[in-house]
Amino acid sequence: MDVLIASVVDGLLIGFVYGLAAMGLTLIFGVMDVVNLSHGALIALGMFGAYLLYTGLGINPYIGLFFVLIGGILLGMALYGIAIHPLLHGPHLSTLLSTFAISMIIVGVGTALFTSTPRNIDISMGALTLGPVRILGTRVIAALMAILMAVGLYIFMYRTHTGKSVRAVANNRDAAELVGIPSTRILALSFGLGTMLAMVSGGLIATLFPFSILSGGTYELKSFVICVLGGLGNPTGALLGGLILGLIEGFIPVFMPVGWTPVIEFTLFVIILLVRPSGILGAR
């Protein structure tokens, strides 16, 4: 029983971070119908961003996340301009190839600059012992920051004019233009937001586990599963999907060999696609 409680708690905490990562992917898909294959590479960039600010300039990783956030939005907007915008009305799936190319470039340059030797952000934020469960400070903070970002995103999307414009463009780009919304700028901002979410989640993950430029791949795969689980294009769904995935990852090892976790995850992925393709909360 103790094991189950510990697993649930661990799973939920990490689930929030997974959810944050997936929100970036689902937002981009929801707004502009682009599958961002550079999602993993951007997560890894976020990891390195937080790491370099910490080891190079001594900035606390949680404060460094603020700079990663700004950097993420700017990078995302730049990437949109170079690699996505010209291809939005191009042949089908060309944006897929384009984001794949970005991924290869980021990983290639990253390997050349940083090598594939694993890195660590060594900070300790203490731990709490609540009954049978021992919770690490770093995981709690990561989960809280993820929740904060999710709330921030919600406020942005529903309470600000720009946010509403994003939702308008996602709904119907032509109609949005007709009412005077500068859709190209909004799309660029959306890609920026998606990139930012990926990079910030990367920065949070870096405070928890060792990483290298190649580590983004695992989280990208998880993000795909989460997006489908929660409903493509639905950020709340992504958060919920993240929690579900985190719980699965916490639970499965208790009952079966740890190696079965990805099998269960991806079987679930396929089942959802077959049975309820719009995801649990419905696609947008």
Partner 1 sequence: MKHLRIILSVLFILALLVTACSKATPTPMPTKAAAQPTKAPEAKTKTLVLGFTASNTGKYAKESKEQTQGLKLWAEAVKKKGGIKLSDGTIVTFELKSYDDESTKERVQQLYTKLITEDKADLLVSPYSSGLTAAAAVIAEQYGKIMVTTGAASDSIYKQGYQRVYQIYTPASRYLTGAVDALKAWDPNAKKLAVVYEKTKFATGVATAAKEYAEKNGFEIVLFEGYEKGTTDFGPFINKIEAAKPDAIIGGGHFQDGSTFAKQLYEKKTPVKMIAILVAPAVPEFAELGDAAVGVIGPSQWESLAKYSPESAKAAGLAWCGPTIDEFVSAYKAAYGYEPGYHAAGGYAAGLVLERAIKMADSVDPDAIKAALDKMDVMIFFGHIKFDTGEAHGLQIGHDMVYLQWQKDKSGNLVREIVWPEAAKTAEPLYPLQR
| 10 lies in the site for partner 1, by CB under 8 A | yes
**Tokens (6 digits) for 64:** 């460094």
Write 177-186 long-range contacts (CB < 8 A, 24+). 184/85, 186/31, 186/162
Map residues 175-204 to x or -, x wherever contact with partner 1 holds by CB under 8 A: ---------x--------------------
Among 117, 159, 179, 180, binds partner 1 (CB under 8 A): 117
279 in contact with partner 1 (CB under 8 A): no
135: left (phi over 0), alpha (psi -120 to 50) or beta: beta
Q: How far apart are CA 92 and CA 113, in angstroms?
A: 34
Residue 109 makes contact with partner 1 by CB under 8 A: yes
169 touching partner 1, by CB under 8 A: no
If binding is defined by CB under 8 A, does position 209 make contact with partner 1? yes
CB 84 within 8 A of CB 32: yes
Asked if 97 is part of the footprint of partner 1 (rule: CB under 8 A), the reply reads: no
What is the size of the binding site for partner 1 (CB under 8 A)?
Answer: 42
The tokens for 211 are 């990483």
Examine residue 112 and tell whether it contacts partner 1 (CB under 8 A): yes
Shortest reach from residue 154's CB to partner 1, in Å = 28
Contact residue for partner 1 among 70, 105, 144, 271 (CB under 8 A): 105
Mapped onto helix, strand or coil, the DSSP state of residue 134 is: strand
Q: Which amino acid is at 4?
A: L
Distances (CA, A) of 100 to 35, 40, 94, 215, 281: 9, 10, 10, 16, 28
Q: Are 42 and 193 in contact (CB under 8 A)?
A: no
Single out the residue of 12, 208, 221, 268 in contact with partner 1 (rule: CB under 8 A).
208
Between 11 and 235, CB nearer to partner 1: 11
The values of phi and psi at residue 233, to 5°, are 90, -5
**Residue 90 interacting with partner 1 (CB under 8 A):** no
Query: Using the rule CB under 8 A, is 258 a contact of partner 1?
Result: yes
Q: Which stretch binds partner 1 (CB under 8 A): 61-69, 149-157, 258-266, 274-282?
A: 258-266
State which of residues 63, 90, 104, 134 lies at the interface with partner 1 (CB under 8 A). Answer: 134
Q: Which stretch binds partner 1 (CB under 8 A): 9-17, 54-62, 91-99, 166-174?
A: 9-17
- Judged by CB under 8 A, does residue 78 bind partner 1? yes
What is the b/e burial string over 269-280, where b = at least 16 CB atoms within 10 angstroms of the residue's CB? beebeeeeeebe
Q: Specify the DSSP element, H or E, that contains 154.
A: helix 137-159
Instruction: Single out the residue of 138, 134, 133 nearest to residue 123, CA to CA.
Output: 138
Element (H, E) at 23: helix 2-32
CB-wise, 7 or 38, nearer to partner 1? 7
- Span from 47-55, 141-149, 226-234, 256-264 in contact with partner 1 (CB under 8 A): 256-264
User: What residues line the site for partner 1 (CB under 8 A)?
Assistant: 2-3, 6-7, 10-11, 14, 78, 81-82, 85-86, 105, 109, 111-113, 115-118, 122, 127, 129, 134, 136, 184, 208-211, 215, 249-254, 257-259, 261
